[in-house]
Amino acid sequence: MAKEKMGNNQRVGIYPGTFDPITNGHLDIIERAARHMCDRLIVSVAINAGKGPLFSLEERTNLVRTEIERINDRCPEATIEVRAFDNLLIHHAQDVGASFIVRGLRAVSDFEYEFQMTGMNAKLNREIETVFLMASDRYQFVSSRFVKEICSLGGDVSQFVPESVEAKLREKLGK
């Protein structure tokens, strides 16, 4: 499976999220999905205003793009793109021609929400599958929410996020 593979045979997946901010755990899922599951992976940044994100949609999309450029250099198996979206996930998946949605699971607590979301998406479109990847053991406890909280209290988040993300976090939080 090479980046040159094109046409209707191309396996297209999306990895959606708020990415407020993107963490090393997100990046691990992205790289594993790109290496093993698809020819083209679209990392889809959700507007998700209901979550009250720290970063704007444009800021989050730019942070993700910066990190994806680094992964693309290491991952010739698939093309990875970044897109923002503000509609239903299942509609976004249809719009970009994805046949599956990649979701990461850290713990049992993630499973219940993801299970319900998968059921709803299947009711809306049975042609688009949801595939779960377990978080790598070194990232099972990492969440954007905890990263923001630790950083806001002056803690070291360098092991949880890339250097460029940490710098933007500190700038945004005045730390």
- Residue spans of beta strands (DSSP E) within the chain: 12-17, 40-46, 79-85, 100-105, 129-134
Residue 69: inside a domain = yes
Residue 120: inside a domain = yes
Residues 71/34, Cβ–Cβ less than 8 Å: yes
Residue 7, pLDDT score: 53
pLDDT at residue 2 is higher than 50: no
Kindly state the average pLDDT of the residues 152-165.
Answer: 96
Residue 29: inside a domain = yes
Residue 174: inside a domain = no
| Number of domain units in the chain | 1
Residue 171, pLDDT score: 96
Distance CA(155)–CA(43), nearest Å, equals: 28
Indicate the DSSP class of residue 156: -
- pLDDT band, residue 1 (cuts 50/70/90): very low
Residue 160: inside a domain = no
- Residue 130: strand pairing partners: 101
pLDDT, one tens digit per residue, over 38-63 is 999 999 999 977 778 999 999 999 99
Residue 170: inside a domain = no
Cα-flanking dihedrals φ and ψ of residue 119, to 5°? -60, -45
CATH of the domain at 67: 3.40.50.620
Kindly state the average pLDDT of the residues 9-17.
Answer: 95
Active-site residue numbers? 26, 51, 106, 144
Domain that holds residue 46: 12-142
| Length of the chain (residues) | 175
pLDDT, one tens digit per residue, over 64-115 is 999 999 888 888 888 999 999 999 999 999 999 999 999 999 887 788 889 9
